[in-house]
Amino acid sequence: MKNLKEQYGAIIWLISGAALFLYAGLGLSGTNIPGVEELVLFINNANGPWLYVAALLSILVEGLYIVGNFFPGATLVLILAVVSGLKSFAFFVSIILTIFIGWVIAGAINIYAATVYSKKIMKLPPDTETVVKDRAWTTWFPSYRANYEVAQIAEGGDPLKVFVSSVRVRVVASLAAAVYTLTLSMFVDIESFSNEEGFWSAVMVGLISTAVGVYKIYLNTQTNNHSIQSEY
């Protein structure tokens, strides 16, 4: 059962990679789908309270499993836009806080949906041996964090522990993103972002997601082979 759950975890990453390739492929082939240019236009037209709504919706969508794959890097673009027209440091902090809250909500949705799916549909029993790890350095990106959350639940992780772990990572990632974008805004013009650049970044994120899935399958296969050999 443990090996089966690990296979489910790998499939979570592979599905994410496939969705990203689909999105990027449609965009690069000329299909009219929303990209980073539309996001910049949306943000530039948002004023006052609507900017907070834009921040909340951007990270909420980007932080959801599968759905967020179609908007990779959306939050980074939004923060850069905010920094470009920075009114005050307090305003910037409030935007970062709004993004953090929206991201936490997205994580809660991921974990709840994955838990319901695992228990009600897949009928998978909980696995008390599954260790929940933060892996902040490799899962700080919203789409990776979403994949990892769902994969941890599929592998038998305790939902509460997965949620607490994700909140810890989001705190660190949000603070790092704030510093990073403040620095990056000095060298990058938000208006220069193009859809094509966004689509190619989706390809890169997709390659990494697929590589993680393939690697997890490889490790699981190696473990199965060792188990079979030990029996003989």
Which of 62 and 162 is assigned the larger pLDDT?
162
**pLDDT confidence tier of residue 232, bands split at 50, 70 and 90:** very low
- 């690697």: which residue's tokens? 215
* pTM metric for this prediction: 0.76
Angle at 118 between CA 212 and CA 112, to 5 degrees: 90
Alpha-carbon distance of 190 to 84, in angstroms, equals: 8
* Residue/partner pairs of 178-182 with CB below 8 Å, 24 or more apart: 178/79, 178/92, 178/93, 178/96, 181/76, 181/79, 181/80, 181/83, 182/83, 182/92
**pLDDT confidence tier of residue 1, bands split at 50, 70 and 90:** very low
| Sign of the dihedral defined by the CA atoms of residues 113, 114, 120, 126, in that order | negative
Q: Convert the pLDDT of each residue in 118-147 to its tens digit.
A: 877 666 666 656 788 888 888 888 888 998
- Residue spans of the domains in the chain: they are 2-224
Task: Provide φ and ψ at 34, rounded to 5°.
Answer: -65, 140
Q: What is the pLDDT of residue 112?
A: 94
Burial (0-12, 13-18, 19+ Cβ within 10 Å), 189: exposed
Q: Convert the pLDDT of each residue in 149-199 to its tens digit.
A: 998 988 888 899 999 999 999 999 888 888 877 776 666 665 566 667 777
